[in-house]
């Protein structure tokens, strides 16, 4: 009896089907073996890298480098804050120094030509803007008189003697040290 067409089987030989399958399996096995060897080598390199990383992060004393970096970062922030405070204090001090006396000059003279030596003097005390005072002392045998005249930018609203003007000019020529 004839079997229906759907039951017809094509007969193939075992060798024609299995030879390419074995080759494929062999190729897959070789590829898997190569991947395993590569993975083992990479794992070994990773272990060496991790050991080197641990050595890098640990100093000779055994402390952690990350702790050191955090500590120095904190110290750096504190120093930066201190520097800002110092700059502010320095700016205030420089502002105060503008009004401080940093120029001085003394002119000695004989107020009375027929009386002794140069006991009289004019002393100019000025800040960096040329403001301050000129102090004059007139000395004779019987008495001594002292005069103080305020100065604003090297000028006074009171009349100045020649010696006082000389003292002011000398003081203005001096440089602050």
- pLDDT tens-digit map of 23-76: 888 889 999 999 999 999 999 999 999 988 877 777 656 677 778 788 899 999
- pLDDT tens-digit map of 106-149: 999 988 877 767 889 999 999 988 899 999 999 887 888 999 99
Q: What is the residue-wise DSSP string for the chain?
A: -PPPGGG------HHHHHHHHHHHHHHHHHHHHHHHHHHHHHHHHHHHHHHHHHHHHB-TTS-BHHHHHHHHHHHHHHHHHHHHHHHHHHHHHHHHHHHS--EEEEEEE-SSTTSSS--EEEEEEE-TTS-EEEEEEEE-SS-EEEEEEEEBTTB-SS---HHHHHHHHHHHHS---
Prediction pTM value = 0.53
């Amino acid at each position: 009896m004839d079997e229906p067409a759907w039951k017809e089987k094509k007969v193939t030989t075992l060798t024609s089907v299995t030879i390419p399958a074995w080759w494929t399996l062999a190729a897959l096995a070789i590829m898997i073996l190569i991947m395993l060897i590569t993975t083992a080598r990479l794992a070994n390199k990773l272990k060496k890298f991790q050991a080197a990383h641990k050595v890098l992060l640990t100093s000779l004393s055994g402390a952690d480098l990350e702790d050191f970096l955090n500590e120095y970062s904190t110290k750096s922030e504190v120093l930066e804050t201190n520097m800002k405070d110092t700059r502010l204090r320095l700016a205030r001090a420089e502002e105060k120094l503008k009004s401080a006396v940093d120029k001085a000059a003394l002119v000695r003279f004989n107020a009375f030509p027929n009386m002794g030596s140069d006991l009289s003097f004019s002393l100019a005390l000025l800040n960096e803007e040329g403001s301050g005072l000129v102090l004059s002392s007139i000395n004779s045998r019987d008495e001594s008189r002292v005069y103080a005249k305020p100065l604003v930018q090297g000028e006074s609203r009171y009349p100045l003697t020649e010696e006082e003007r000389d003292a002011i000019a000398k003081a203005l020529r001096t440089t602050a040290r």
